[in-house]
Amino acid sequence: MSTAIAEVMNVIHRYVPTNFRPKVGMILGSGLASIAEQITNPISIPYQALPGLEPGHVAGHAYLLVAGHLNDVPVVCLKGRLHLYEGAHYESIRTLVRIVKYMGAHAVVITGAAGSLQPQVGPGEIMMITDHINFQPGNPLLGPNDESIGPRFTSLEDAYDSAFQEILRNVANRLHIPLANGVYLSTLGPSFETPAEIRAFQKWGADAIGMSVVPEVIIARHCGLRVACLAAITNLAVGLSEEKVTHEGTLHYGDLAARKLVKLIPEFIKEASSGLE
């Protein structure tokens, strides 16, 4: 464990008992903070209380680490993420994701708001991410590698856990929640995409587009965390609808999608956690 992450964990354990070991972590995107409200006996730590971390400044993100129980399963939740477009550095994003690992979790559920490139999957729907295209500059694993965390060269062939995908499908069917699936393409942002870019991305095989998720998935897989990923569809991508793409719309439709995720995620975590030891 690096000195930097050791300092962060020391602070966390001032708030969270050292014998608290979450099975699953969660990263919540724009408009999805309501999921964390289901956590019982929560212990909250502001990001700014952790060495080297500063909160972001995007509406819809609370920037809290929350530890507690969700559906009787011990969890740690990152209530708000850091984005490269805000000027956040990969080091901060790596620290946040690795906190989940060092607290003891075996898996992480990553959520995010996304635009849909599938006209039949509109605002307010949920898409399970099965693969990704990294269109952000660089890679969060650039630089010297710490072999105690993960290998120099990390395979992403199974980045999105196939067993978790099957559980998500089964839970969604049981709850009568429509669940699309597709490939997520991550851009830098903060500007939205042009119609020409969307047409190009469709030809590449992208089904959803956003400004996050992918760096966190790469970091999670590097340190051995299994990944499930759900996108809250907040708009049809530009050029596919007459409605203008705005962040206000992201928050509005993110809230509609969150009403489905607050049912889906706790049941998924309960079912998936039985195989996490």
> What are 182-206's pLDDT values in tens digits?
999 999 999 999 999 999 999 999 9
Q: Does 247 participate in catalysis according to the annotation?
A: yes
Cis ω before 22 (30° cut-off from 0): no
- Is 113 an active-site residue? yes
SS3 175: helix
Q: 223 is written with which tokens?
A: 């340190």
**3-273, which class in CATH?**
alpha beta
- pLDDT digits 0-9 by tens, 83-125: 999 888 899 999 999 999 999 999 999 999 999 999 999 999 9
241 catalytic? Reply is no
Catalytic position from the list 34, 54, 62, 247: 247
Catalytic residue among 86, 88, 102, 145: 86
Annotated catalytic residue, options 7, 62, 85, 145 = 85
Residue with tokens 């993100």: 61
Helix (H) or strand (E) holding 196: helix 195-204
What's the token pair of residue 149? Answer: 């965390």
Q: Domain-by-domain residue ranges, the chain? A: 3-273
**Residue 267 appears among annotated catalytic residues:** no
* 71 catalytic residue (yes or no): no
- For the entire predicted model, the pTM comes to 0.94
Q: Active site includes 85?
A: yes
Token pair, residue 219, equals 């970091």
Q: Is 61 a catalytic site residue?
A: yes
Residues of the chain with pLDDT > 70, as a percent, come to 95
Q: Residue 30 catalytic?
A: yes
Sign, CA dihedral 235-198-192-58, equals: positive
Q: How far is CA 249 from the centre of its chain?
A: 19
pLDDT 10s digits, 77-86? 999 889 999 8
In the set 113, 180, 208, 231, the catalytic residue is 113
- Which pLDDT score is estimated for 35? 86
